[in-house]
């Protein structure tokens, strides 16, 4: 729907879609499997640390360099603190990276099924994009992107594992991209990597054009705290810091810093919740197949599935009537799919029961 735009708006704002808050309804007791949150609470140590930080006082500004978090990330991944940048969720980190690296004469390359916000950031910053079609199995065509990159591009952005398909790429394929555009940035968004993907973080020292972005929203159950980070060689981090400083923004507040550091250090909690989610995912995959769905192989905390005989938008609407939320995308290439976040075992059982009832009623 196009509405009239006030004359005093900047022209580019008119092209931006307002966020539809329907994915975050204010209704209790929903089985909420639509935005890839972690169904389990964060580490109790993180909650304690947040409470302690509040008790220590919030009247002073936080550290503008987020040093404590960057040290925790560097320790965990064998990097130096100069190779880590922190932000308010990985969305903010991605936006800064688009501003810092992709405003070039040539277009930015990305797969045509990928995280929807890449196009939004490109639009905000006036970056032209060239989309490379995924193959029949919705797999990213690395070879096509690499060939295209050799003719010049602003860089490449890729989610690994991809969203919303859930399919992961081996590191060897990421290395093909890195080799194909040595003078431009390859941005690898690893929001879901902890659920079974292969991280490119060990390649940071080897490739000056690699920036890896991760988040604490998914595998660390901290979507509500807004913490993300980027890792790359120092010259890349310096560019991000320059952008951040120019917005005069503080990366992390005191509560977020305390909670994030404690969460990163609680390896046992991380492993337990991750294993539960992976286990539930594998079970749900089979149950959905029993219901007649085709389910893509997932290395994330969600599955992407289609029912050959049923309209996906209608299924999503019928599930919503039964208080079960899943995600449907209108984009033609994936409009027959549902993206279902992995909830607790009970939530996934509720989803399966609701789907069974809907399919039986046919
Ligand atoms: N990248 C991808 C691929 C995502 O799916 C998301 C979450 N929807 C994000 C980045 C942003 O996550 P956050 O801002 O919560 O870190």
Which pLDDT tens digit goes with each residue over 269-328? 999 999 999 999 999 999 999 999 999 999 999 999 999 999 999 999 999 999 999 999
Whole-number Å distance between alpha carbons of 148 and 160:
19
Residue 311 has a pLDDT of 97
Q: Which residues of 122-274 form beta strands (DSSP E)? A: 129-132, 155-159, 185-189, 210-215, 228-232
Pocket probe mutation, ligand 1, options 32, 167, 191, 299, max atoms within 8 Å of Cβ: 191
The pLDDT tens digits of the residues spanning 133-145 come to 999 999 999 999 9
pLDDT at 71 > cutoff 80: yes
Q: How far is the CA of 346 from the centre of ligand 1 (A)?
A: 25
Q: Residues of the chain with pLDDT > 70: what percent? A: 98
**In ligand 1, which atom is closest to the CA atom of 215?**
16
Ligand 1 atom 4: residue of nearest CA: 191
Pocket probe mutation, ligand 1, options 85, 163, 229, max atoms within 8 Å of Cβ: 163
Longest CA–CA span in the chain (Å) reads: 61
pLDDT mean across residues, the chain:
95
pLDDT at 113 > cutoff 70: yes
Q: Which H or E element spans position 345?
A: helix 345-360
Residue 362 has a pLDDT of 66
Q: How far is the CA of 293 from the centre of ligand 1 (A)?
A: 26
Residue 44 has a pLDDT of 98
Q: How far is the CA of 227 from the centre of ligand 1 (A)?
A: 10
Q: What is the mean pLDDT of residues 174-195?
A: 98
Q: What is the mean pLDDT of residues 75-80?
A: 97
pLDDT at 1 > cutoff 70: no
Whole-number Å distance between alpha carbons of 71 and 95:
23
**How do strand 185-189 and strand 210-215 relate by DSSP bridges?**
parallel
Domains of the chain and CATH, by start: 11-41+268-360 (3.90.1150.10), 44-266 (3.40.640.10)
Q: What is the mean pLDDT of residues 68-94?
A: 97
Question: What confidence tier does 10 reach under pLDDT thresholds 50, 70, 90?
Answer: confident
Whole-number Å distance between alpha carbons of 133 and 144:
9
Residues in the chain: 362
Question: What confidence tier does 21 reach under pLDDT thresholds 50, 70, 90?
Answer: low
The pLDDT tens digits of the residues spanning 224-235 come to 999 999 999 999
Residue 16 has a pLDDT of 84
Going by C-beta distance under 8 Å and a sequence separation of 6 or more, which residues neighbour residue 333? 112, 113, 134, 138
ipTM for the predicted complex: 0.99
pLDDT at 5 > cutoff 80: no
Residue 259 has a pLDDT of 98
pLDDT at 211 > cutoff 90: yes
Q: What is the mean pLDDT of residues 197-213?
A: 98
- Alpha-helical runs (H) found in 41-181: 44-56, 67-77, 89-101, 117-124, 142-149, 171-180
pLDDT at 7 > cutoff 90: no
Residue 26 has a pLDDT of 72
Residues with Cβ within 6 A of ligand 1?
Answer: 36, 89-91, 115, 159, 163, 189, 191, 215, 217, 223, 228
Residue 354 has a pLDDT of 98
**252 and 227 Cβ atoms separated by less than 8 Å:** yes
pTM over 0.90: yes
**In ligand 1, which atom is closest to the CA atom of 163?**
3
Pocket probe mutation, ligand 1, options 32, 73, 89, 91, max atoms within 8 Å of Cβ: 91
Question: What confidence tier does 223 reach under pLDDT thresholds 50, 70, 90?
Answer: very high
Going by C-beta distance under 8 Å and a sequence separation of 6 or more, which residues neighbour residue 288? 295, 303, 305, 340, 352, 355
The pLDDT tens digits of the residues spanning 160-174 come to 999 999 999 999 999
């Amino acid at each position: 729907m196009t509405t009239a735009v006030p004359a005093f708006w900047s022209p580019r704002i008119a092209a931006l879609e307002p966020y539809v808050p329907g994915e975050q309804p204010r209704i209790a007791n929903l089985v909420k499997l639509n935005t890839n949150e972690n169904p389990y609470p964060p580490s109790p140590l993180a909650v304690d640390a947040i409470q302690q930080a509040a008790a220590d006082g919030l009247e002073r500004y936080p550290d503008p360099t987020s040093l404590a978090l960057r040290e925790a990330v560097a320790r965990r991944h064998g990097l130096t603190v100069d190779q880590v940048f922190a932000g308010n969720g990985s969305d903010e980190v991605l936006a800064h990276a688009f501003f810092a690296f992709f405003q070039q004469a040539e277009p930015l390359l990305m797969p045509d099924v990928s995280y929807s916000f890449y196009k939004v950031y490109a639009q905000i910053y006036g970056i032209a994009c060239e989309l490379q079609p995924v193959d029949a199995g919705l797999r990213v065509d690395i070879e096509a992107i690499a060939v295209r990159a050799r003719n010049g591009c602003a860089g490449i952005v890729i989610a690994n594992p991809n969203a919303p398909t859930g399919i992961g790429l081996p590191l060897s394929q990421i290395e093909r991209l890195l080799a194909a555009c040595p003078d431009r940035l390859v941005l690898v968004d690893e929001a879901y990597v902890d659920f079974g993907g292969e991280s490119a973080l060990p390649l940071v020292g080897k490739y000056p054009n690699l920036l890896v972005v991760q988040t604490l929203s998914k595998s660390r159950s901290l979507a509500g705290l807004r913490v993300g980070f980027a890792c790359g060689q120092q010259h890349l981090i310096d560019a991000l810091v320059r952008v951040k400083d120019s917005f005069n923004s503080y990366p992390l507040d005191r509560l977020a810093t305390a909670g994030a550091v404690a969460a990163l250090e609680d390896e046992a909690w991380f492993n337990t919740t991750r294993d539960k989610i992976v286990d539930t995912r594998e079970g749900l995959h089979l149950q959905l197949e029993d219901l007649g769905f085709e389910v893509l192989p997932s290395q994330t905390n969600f599955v992407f599935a289609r029912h050959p005989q049923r309209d996906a938008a209608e299924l999503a609407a019928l599930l919503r009537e039964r208080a079960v939320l899943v995600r449907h995308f209108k984009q033609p290439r994936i409009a027959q799919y549902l993206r279902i976040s992995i909830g607790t075992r009970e939530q996934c059982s509720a989803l399966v029961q609701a789907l069974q009832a809907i399919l039986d009623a046919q």
